[in-house]
A and B are shown apart, each in its own frame.
Chain A
Amino acid sequence: MESPYTGLPPRAFWRTGVSEQNPLTVTDLYRPKFKIGLEDKIVTAGSCFAQHIANKFTAHGYQVVNAEPAPEGMDAATAKKFGYGVYSARYGNLYTTRQLLQLTLESLGAATPQHIVWEKEGRYFDALRPSVEPEGLESPDEVLLHRQAHLNAVRRMLRTMDLFVYTFGLTEAWVDKRDGTVFPTAPGTIAGSFDPELFEFKNFTFSEVMKDFLRFRQLVLKRNPKARFLVTVSPVPLTATAGNEHVLAATIYSKSVLRAVAGELAQTLEDVDYFPSYEIIAAHSSRGFFYESNLRSVHPAGVENVMRIFFEAHGVTQTQEAAARPRRAGKSKAAAGKDDVVCEEILMEAFNKHE
């Protein structure tokens, strides 16, 4: 009997698929499960790395949904400061799948997280998206009113989108013990204060992340049967871990869990595709080329390479990209660059007092 490896393409073998490839020109690394059309309404969400993806989609002429556009006349830098245009709605970074599920349930009226207004110096913040109003609001009532308008936008967005692009970010989170609400950042980082009686550390497991995403998908498909999902894993390591392990081990655990979840989703569900941005950046075959000197931030060349592979696989030609340029010239978009993303997680470094 012939070996089952006989006749497999070059991509199936490490030598021809990896070690003899230049990371900047590697091809056939990704074969899309389904086509993404230029007319598809694409929603983006997830961790900081997802912001790069959103920018590139727009630059290539795709229709990235903006359910909460910035007020007309607001320039790109100001808009970004207030969370406009960072993702498809002003939810901020959804680092964990639990946050994604929580937001979806809340937008559908199926859950009402309590204790979500944090205070700092007389100003009030939406604890579930503290970065979108950097100066805070005047009262808890105002926070809740703004939040309801946001949830309305999220609900409409989920109902009408064609493709949901989610970048899994973290497994670590902080949870309110009283009702299980999960936050994008620890209390006390941007606002609020940390009380160990009220908040606890949580490191989500494979089964928990899987269950959360499947539930999210179910909620979406019930209301929007045509929706499809494209998942990726952020290659950005943890800034800090509150678990007992070294941050390197904690990072690998986190990324391993998330990669395994993403892989199983794509293997078992027709409407979920996995794009290997994590491997492109983080695998040792890239020799760390695509990280900045801090070995954490992704260099713009890395983002470019990731998206080159993606768009080539989807048959987006350079002509198509060039044709999209006049359209994006009129839009207020922040240019890609070093540390160009909105990232609360990076704030954890402020608590690192070691030399």
Chain B
Amino acid sequence: MSKQRVCIIGNSHAAALRVGLDLLPELNDKFVFDFFAAQSDLMRSMELVGRKLVPTSEVTRQRLNAYSQGRAEIEIDGYDSFLIVGMGFGIAGPGFISPFSALQKYQIFGFQNTETAASGGFISKPCFDALTESVLRNSTANYFAAILRKETSVPVFLAPAPYPSEDVLSAGPKEFWLQSIRNGAWPYAVKVYRDKAEKIAGVSGCRLLFQPAQTLTQDSFTRKEFSHESVRLSEALDVKHPPFEPYHMNAAYGAEMLNAYHAMMSR
């Protein structure tokens, strides 16, 4: 039986899946995974030309070449499925605009947080909801989803960036997180995020691949065993993130995601 070809397109979060694959050698009996990854803002500089996604900037081309085994162009035909990872589709993360970053800057009435920036002012719930939808809809991930859904008929999965590690509740800006949980802002943001993610995925005709329940604690934080020793996206995937980096996950997490993908493809 021929192997299924899977195209994984992502940003730094794709690194977890790449190293996770090393923990699941049996998957290589069924699948051939092609990884294409670079920083999110660089990935936005890709366009469909004919039946290929090609970089429109030289920097994007160079990074893709470096991180994707010397390949910078993605031929969209010939794959049995696409898995789009991260790239701004998520609730929180460093360096990208997210619902979480709005909570850091604005107060939602009824969810006041003393750790929120004093200068940001207020945002209403309808406005926060609309912002969340806007962020997800305009993410680089959704940009790719829309192209692939239009141009192919194979399954397209959207794997959001992971929930932050539970480490945020005990280190770093923990007071902000603890207040956000206590006052209801974070649970509210999580609910809105999930609703909007489902909506955007539905509109794009894609399937959402949320991280599996066993990777979570308290419903919306990733268990710390999945965040420690995470690797940076790099040529050899041998550079680790700093010890407290709660937004990127490790090989064990990547393996869980690949297993979840496998389960969905098997249905």
Q: Which of A72, A135, A145 contacts B109 (CB 8 A)?
A: A145
Task: Report the count of interface residues on B (CB-CB < 8 A).
Answer: 22
Shortest beta-carbon contacts, A-B, top 4:
A73-B97, A135-B126, A142-B109, A73-B135
A146-B126 Cα distance, complex, nearest whole Å: 13
Pairwise interchain contact A82-B102, C-beta atoms closer than 8 A: no
Q: Which of A73, A75, A78, A139 contacts B98 (CB 8 A)?
A: A73
Residue positions of B touching A, CB distance < 8 A: 97-98, 101-102, 105-106, 109-110, 121-127, 130-131, 133-135, 137-138
Of the listed residues B98, B101, B121, the one surrounded by the most CB atoms of chain A closer than 10 A to its CB is: B121
Main secondary structure of the interface of A (DSSP, over half): loop
Q: Collect the chain B residues with CB atoms within 8 Å of residue A331's CB.
A: none
Pairwise interchain contact A73-B131, C-beta atoms closer than 8 A: yes
Count class of interface residues, chain A: 20 to 34
Main secondary structure of the interface of B (DSSP, over half): helix
Instruction: Tell whether A81 pairs with B109 under 8 Å between CB atoms, given A72-B101, A146-B122.
Output: no
Q: Which of A71, A133, A134, A137 contacts B105 (CB 8 A)?
A: A71
A138-B110 Cα distance, complex, nearest whole Å: 10
A141-B122 Cα distance, complex, nearest whole Å: 13
Instruction: Tell whether A133 pairs with B121 under 8 Å between CB atoms, given A72-B97, A73-B98.
Output: no
Pairwise interchain contact A73-B138, C-beta atoms closer than 8 A: yes
Instruction: Tell whether A71 pairs with B110 under 8 Å between CB atoms, given A78-B131, A149-B122.
Output: no
Pairwise interchain contact A75-B121, C-beta atoms closer than 8 A: no
Check: A292 CB closer than 8 A to any chain B CB: no
Pairwise interchain contact B109-A73, C-beta atoms closer than 8 A: no
Pairwise interchain contact A81-B130, C-beta atoms closer than 8 A: yes
Query: Which chain A residue has the least Cβ–Cβ distance from B88?
Result: A73
A71-B121 Cα distance, complex, nearest whole Å: 10
Query: Which chain B residue has the least Cβ–Cβ distance from A146?
Result: B122
Q: Collect the chain B residues with CB atoms within 8 Å of residue A81's CB.
A: 130
A74-B123 Cα distance, complex, nearest whole Å: 12
Q: Which of A73, A136, A139 contacts B134 (CB 8 A)?
A: A73
Of the listed residues A74, A78, A82, A145, the one surrounded by the most CB atoms of chain B closer than 10 A to its CB is: A74
Of the listed residues A71, A72, A138, the one surrounded by the most CB atoms of chain B closer than 10 A to its CB is: A71
